[in-house]
């Protein structure tokens, strides 16, 4: 009672929605400049018992904090007796070292979330895991459903265990293909926001369209992208584009280039 949830925004909206369902007070911590979530000063308003949600790498901006920054943030919140929840669902696509899980034993208020949905490209799978210290895990287990792993998730987990190189191959492909696509877009005058994930942001001003209209035009070409106007901290000038197969990416680049003419 009385504790609040702070969300480093713009980011995935379900953190805030989950907190609101619990009747908690929620606050979005927004950057004064740019669109990437803040790091410096993000804990300024947190009081004992409060919780900070941080998505790293972030959805939808694709930006990421360094491992050292997360450690320092966790230590600062520990001193303030506040909780830190780090969502690392997109960690698989970055070449940075994400070591938050190594710190859960020494940081009693740190919780790390990871999803396998993005890695496997199966949005309906709902597979993932949580890592924290035994005290927090025991509390989470009390709220867990009796059968948390369904029959579809099980073979997917077995696949990852038997094919450890799949993760590395996926990371390398996404990185190379993302950089290639971003480079091709730049050649025709379209700049993408720097990303470390399997997606990137585009500003729609260059097309003379808002995000909703650009999404509609692309959908007519059987291309689906994400209108980001619903993200707190972003407006109707941003869309999120996923890295697909090379042929699909090339078709997207050609289509976007046609909208410039």
Q: Could you tell me where the beta strands, DSSP code E, fall in the chain?
A: 4-8, 25-29, 51-55, 83-87, 110-115, 128-131, 199-203, 226-227, 238-242
- The pLDDT score that the predictor gives to residue 1 is 56
pLDDT at residue 201 in the model? 98
**Comma-separated ranges of CATH 3.90.1150.10 domains in the chain:** 170-260
What pLDDT sits at residue 32? 81
For the domain spanning 170-260, the CATH number is: 3.90.1150.10
Residues of the chain with CATH 3.40.640.10: 4-160
State the Cα angle at 162 between 161 and 166, rounded to 5°. 85
pLDDT of residue 154: 83
DSSP alpha helices (H): ranges in 109-210?
117-120, 134-142, 153-162, 165-187
Give the C-alpha separation, 188 to 184, whole Å: 7
What is the biggest distance separating any 2 CA atoms in the chain, rounded to whole angstroms? 59
Q: Which tokens sit at 124?
A: 């309906």
- Tokens 């949830």 — which residue? 5
Residue 168 pLDDT: 92
How far apart are the C-alpha atoms of 9 and 140, rounded to whole Å?
Answer: 25
Token digits for 166?
């799949």
Q: Which residues of 50-78 are buried (b: 16+ CB within 10 A; e: fewer)?
A: bbbbbbbbbbbbbbbbebeebbebbeebb
- Residue showing tokens 């859960």: 104
The CA R_g of the chain, rounded to the nearest whole Å, is 19
Per-block mean pLDDT, blocks of 10 residues, the chain (261 long): 87 92 90 84 89 96 92 93 95 87 90 90 82 92 82 84 90 96 96 96 96 98 97 96 97 96 61
CA atoms within 13 A on the CB side of 62: 23
Secondary element (H or E) of residue 112? strand 110-115
Residue among 24, 32, 34 at smallest CA distance from 85: 24
Q: Which two tokens stand for residue 19?
A: 């907190």
**Residue 28: is the preceding peptide bond cis (ω within 30°)?**
no
Identify the pLDDT of residue 28. 92
CATH class belonging to 4-160: alpha beta
Q: What pLDDT shows up at residue 190?
A: 96
Beta carbons within 8 Å of 173's beta carbon, 6+ residues apart: none
């Amino acid at each position: 009672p009385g504790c609040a949830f702070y969300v480093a925004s713009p980011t995935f909206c379900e953190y805030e929605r989950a907190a609101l369902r619990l009747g908690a007070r929620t606050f979005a911590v927004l950057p004064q400049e740019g669109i990437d979530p803040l790091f410096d000063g993000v804990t300024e308003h947190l009081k004992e018992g409060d919780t900070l949600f941080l998505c790293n790498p972030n959805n939808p901006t694709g930006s990421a904090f360094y491992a050292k920054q997360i450690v320092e943030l966790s230590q600062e919140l520990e001193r303030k007796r506040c909780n830190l929840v780090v969502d690392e669902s997109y960690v698989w696509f970055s070449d940075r070292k994400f070591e938050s899980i190594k710190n859960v034993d020494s940081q009693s208020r740190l919780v790390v979330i990871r999803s396998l949905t993005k890695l496997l490209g199966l949005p309906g799978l709902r597979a993932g895991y949580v890592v924290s210290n035994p005290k927090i895990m025991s509390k989470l287990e009390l709220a867990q459903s009796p059968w948390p792993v369904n029959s579809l998730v099980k073979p997917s987990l077995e696949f990852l265990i038997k094919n450890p190189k799949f993760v590395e191959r996926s990371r390398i492909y996404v990185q190379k293909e993302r950089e290639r696509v971003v480079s091709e877009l730049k050649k025709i005058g379209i700049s993408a926001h720097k990303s470390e994930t399997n997606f990137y942001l585009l500003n729609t001003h260059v097309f003379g369209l808002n995000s909703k209209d650009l999404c509609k035009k692309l959908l007519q070409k059987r291309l689906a992208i994400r209108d980001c106007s619903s993200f707190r901290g972003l407006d109707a000038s941003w869309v999120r584009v996923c890295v697909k197969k090379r042929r699909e990416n090339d078709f997207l680049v050609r289509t976007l280039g046609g909208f410039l003419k």
